[in-house]
A and B are shown apart, each in its own frame.
Chain A
C-alpha cells in the first residue's frame, strides 16, 4: 500500500557533514558500484564513451558557493540523495503500490517488479532523489543499502551504506535518527543538524550538519597572519658588509 505508515519503529538514515565533505565524489562512485551489482536493476549508462555521456545515479555531489557578509566566500560540497522522508510525497503518489516506506526501519523503497515507470514519484520529490533508469524503465532510488546493512555475509564493519563506508573524510554517518541516544542523533543535536527545504513539508529523516564557523581576520584571539612574508624582500637601509654584499650581488 502506498499510504504512509503512521510511525516507524526506527528511522534509519544518514547524517551528512557539510563541514568535512571535501567533494571527492567517492560516495557517488561507491554507490553506483554497489547498486549496479546488487539490489534490483543495474544503474545503466548511456553513451558512456561518447560525446554526451549520462547515467543513473542515486547520489550526486554538488558544489555551492556561499557569499557571506563581511567574510570571504565559502565553498560547500553538497552530497544529494534520498532523505527517506517521514512524510514522503513520492510514496503516496504511486499508483501501483511499487513505492513504499518500511514500518520496521523507515527506509523508502521501490518494488521494481510493480513499477510501471510513470515517473510521477520523481516529480513529487523536491530533492531530485529519484531517477528513472533509461534501460530498465523503472524508478531507481537510494535503498540505504538495505542489502548491506542487514547482510550477515558481510563483515560487521561493512554493514553500513556503501557511501558511508567509503567516505575518506568521515563526512557521512549512518544510524537510527529515531533514537535520541544514538550517535547520529547526538551528532545532530550537538552540531545543529538541519532539514532541507522544510517548507516542502516532507519531514526528512536525513540531516545535514552546517559548516562550522571559520576563523576570521581581526576576530578576538585570532592572530593576524604574517603578511610581510608575502612581500618582495626589501634591502632598504642595509649597511656594512651585508649592504656591500647586496650591492655586489645586484650588479652581477
Chain B
C-alpha cells in the first residue's frame, strides 16, 4: 500500500496524543494550573494535529462533516465520532484541572476509555480490510493500542509503566511482522483464484491492461517497502521500543531522559508505520502480476 505521509503522521501523532490523554484521563498524573494547561494542551494538540493531517489526503475535505454519519457500519466514521467524543468529554476534566485545580475524574475516566477506543477504531480501519491480508489480523489493533499506551506513558512521565509497555510493544511488533509475513499466502488468494483460471493451470499476466500507471497501482502496489523491509524492521524495533525501554530502565523519572525516550519512540514509530503501509500487499496486485 502507498505510504502516504499524511496517514503516517496522522496515525502516529494522534495515537500518541490519545495515548497521553488516556493517561491524563485515568488520573495517574494529576497536574493542576499551568502544568495541567501544558500537559492537556500537548494531548489535545497532538490528537488534533493528527486529525487535521488526516483531512489532507481527502479529495473533498469540505464535506468532512458527513464522515460522522455512518458509525453503524464504518470504522472510519466510528473513529471520527469517538475522536470528537474523547476531546469533548475530556474537556470538563481538563478545564477543571487547569482553571479550578479541581479535575473531574468521572469525565476523565470515561474520556480515557474513549481515547483508547479511538485508537482501536483507527486500527480497525486497517484490520477490517480482508483485501490486505497482512492487516486483516488481531495483531493490528493490539499494536496500535499498545503503541499509544506506551508513547502516552512516556509523555505522561510514567517511566516504570512505560518500560513494561515498551517491552510489550517490542514483542507485539515482532509478532505482527512474523505473522504478517505469512498472511498473504494464508489468505488463499492467488492469480488462480483472482481470475478463476487456477483450475486449468498456472496463471501469469501476459499483457497488462494499460502501459502506463493508474490509481490502483500507485495506491495499492508498492514494492520499495518490501525490498528493504528487513533493514527497516531492524531500525524501527530499537528506536520505537528497545532503546526507549533501556532509557526507562536507567532513569524512569528523569525528565530529560523521558524527552529523549519520547523522541526516539516517535522516530521509531514513524519508521514502523511507514513500513506498516509500504509492506502491506493488496490482493488487486494479483491482476497486475505484481504485489
Contact of B204 among A1, A64, A91 (CB under 8 A): A64
Given contacts A2-B70, A60-B210, A89-B131, contact A122 B64 (CB under 8 A): no
Contact present for A211 and B209 (CB under 8 Å): no
Majority SS of interface residues in chain A?
loop
Contact present for A122 and B58 (CB under 8 Å): no
| Identity of the chain B residue whose Cβ is nearest the Cβ of A55 in the assembled complex | B214
Contact present for A68 and B201 (CB under 8 Å): yes
Cβ of A235 under 8 Å from chain B: no
Of the 9-residue stretches A144-152, A174-182, A192-200, A244-252, which lies at the interface with chain B? A192-200
Contact present for A123 and B207 (CB under 8 Å): no
| Identity of the chain A residue whose Cβ is nearest the Cβ of B285 in the assembled complex | A128
Q: How many residues from B make CB contacts under 8 Å with A?
A: 58
Expressed in whole angstroms, the Cα–Cα distance for A98 and B58 within the complex equals 14
Contact present for A65 and B200 (CB under 8 Å): no
Cβ of A124 under 8 Å from chain B: yes
Collect the chain B residues with CB atoms within 8 Å of residue A74's CB. 200-201
Of the 9-residue stretches B25-33, B86-94, B191-199, B245-253, which lies at the interface with chain A? B191-199
Collect the chain A residues with CB atoms within 8 Å of residue B41's CB. none
| Identity of the chain B residue whose Cβ is nearest the Cβ of A120 in the assembled complex | B76
Contact present for B73 and A1 (CB under 8 Å): yes
Contact present for B205 and A114 (CB under 8 Å): no
Cβ of A234 under 8 Å from chain B: no
Contact of A118 among B57, B196, B206 (CB under 8 A): B57
Contact present for A211 and B200 (CB under 8 Å): yes
Expressed in whole angstroms, the Cα–Cα distance for A3 and B72 within the complex equals 7
Across the A-B interface, give the 8 residue pairs with the lowest CB-CB distance, nearest first: A117-B59, A137-B59, A128-B284, A60-B209, A96-B66, A68-B201, A95-B77, A63-B207
Chain A residues near B (Cβ < 8 Å): 1-4, 18, 23, 25, 28, 52-57, 60-69, 71, 73-76, 78, 80, 89, 91-98, 114-120, 122-128, 131-132, 134, 136-138, 194-201, 208, 210-211
